Amino acid sequence: MKLSKSMFGLSLAVAAAAACAGPLDKTECIAPAKPGGGFDLTCKLAQTALLEGKYIADPMRVTYMPGGIGAVAYNAVVAQRPDSANTIVAFSGGSLLNLAQGKFGRYNENDVRWLAAIGADYGAVVVAENSPYKSLKDVLAAVKADQAKVVFGAGGTVGSQDWMKAAMTAKAAGVNPKSMRFVAFEGGGEAMTALQGGHIHVFTGDAAETVQQIKAGAKVRLLAVMADKRLAGDLANVPTAKEQGTDIEWPIIRGFYVGPKVSDADFKLWSDTFAKMMATPAYDKARADRGLYPFALTGAQADAHIKQQVAAYRKLAADFGLAVTK
């Protein structure tokens, strides 16, 4: 069967388009939770910075895959989409903590390709705007007086990073973390809604996530950040936990991974793209606008740091009497 000139031309065009298609075409970022939390923030940062920097031609699609604070997305990518080169998946320190405890099922930190760390956040102690607690010391005093009357809440179950932050807060008040009242939510957005509704009294979330929620109209107040020193920008007036007499720090990295069978060439293109993007003033502004602080690693450096972090989390979890992977 002979092709007409027009059909032949169309076939060549399709073939050329297919040949030119690569990992930066029709990109997707998976946020492993419902909209409104830290994973969403991470994807939206990449979406904005990649497009505005002209590293991608079309807007990155953000999709949501809640479940297990990252476990559902992790399993789906490893088992069902291992070679999907145009898909990146957001992770946080909480993802790494869950991996350390075996909460991602049969997979561990060696089952994906860690692409980049794109910024740092810090734990935060947050209350509703009308809360009687005006400082971290107020919260600790209330917990010490009657722990049953103070309900903590955050994204993640026992052993999650937000639970860890609540556990360290309770421990600072002299309370056994296993006996504190804690309500688990699927993500930070749900917990923030519950906080404003009075269903929980203290949210142990992330500083950047909270700032974005406040800018969006959330009626909440930051009492403390879990950083080694005061943070700049929107959080300059928020004291650290250390300043208030409580030696609690919880830095959080945010970044992306890709499937285990993404080719070396495609992985390198993503890695090089992120490295170039994060070296620009425009990226610094986009990151700072979302309350994240400088922390940029790609490729092998990102992989090494993340695996070291998982090992450190295994030790921390064991110290709290939680199950860990070997």
Give the pLDDT mean for 256-272. 97
CA atoms within 13 A on the CB side of 114: 27
Q: What are phi and psi of 263, to 5 degrees?
A: -65, 155
Ramachandran area for residue 291 (φ above 0: left; ψ -120 to 50: alpha; else beta): left
DSSP letters of 83-128? T-TTEEEEEEHHHHHHHHTTTTTT--TTSSEEEEEEEEEEEEEEEE
Has residue 7 got a pLDDT over 50? no
Question: Residue 129 contacts by C-beta under 8 Å, 6 or more apart in sequence?
Answer: 196, 219, 220, 221
The model carries a pTM of 0.75
Has residue 104 got a pLDDT over 80? yes
pLDDT of residue 156: 79
Length of the chain: 326
Q: Which pLDDT band, with edges at 50, 70 and 90, does 143 fall under?
A: very high
Q: What is the pLDDT of residues 185-198, one digit of tens each?
A: 877 889 999 999 99
pLDDT of residue 311: 92
Return the domain boundaries, the chain. Answer: 25-120+252-319, 122-249
pLDDT of residue 209: 82
Q: What are phi and psi of 253, to 5 degrees?
A: -95, 150
Give the pLDDT mean for 258-286. 97
Has residue 325 got a pLDDT over 90? no
Has residue 307 got a pLDDT over 50? yes
pLDDT of residue 21: 66
pLDDT of residue 264: 97
CB 100 within 8 A of CB 86: no
Give the pLDDT mean for 127-139. 97
Q: Does domain 25-120+252-319 have CATH number 3.40.190.150?
A: yes
Q: What is the pLDDT of residues 22-35, one digit of tens each?
A: 899 999 999 999 89
Averaged pLDDT of the chain: 90
Q: What is the pLDDT of residues 208-247, one digit of tens each?
A: 889 888 989 999 999 999 998 999 888 899 999 999 999 9
- DSSP code of residue 24: T
Question: Looking at the domain that runs over 122-249, which CATH code has it been given?
Answer: 3.40.190.10
Q: Which pLDDT band, with edges at 50, 70 and 90, does 111 fall under?
A: very high
Has residue 165 got a pLDDT over 90? yes
Give the pLDDT mean for 132-145. 96
Answer yes or no: same fold for 25-120+252-319 and 122-249: yes
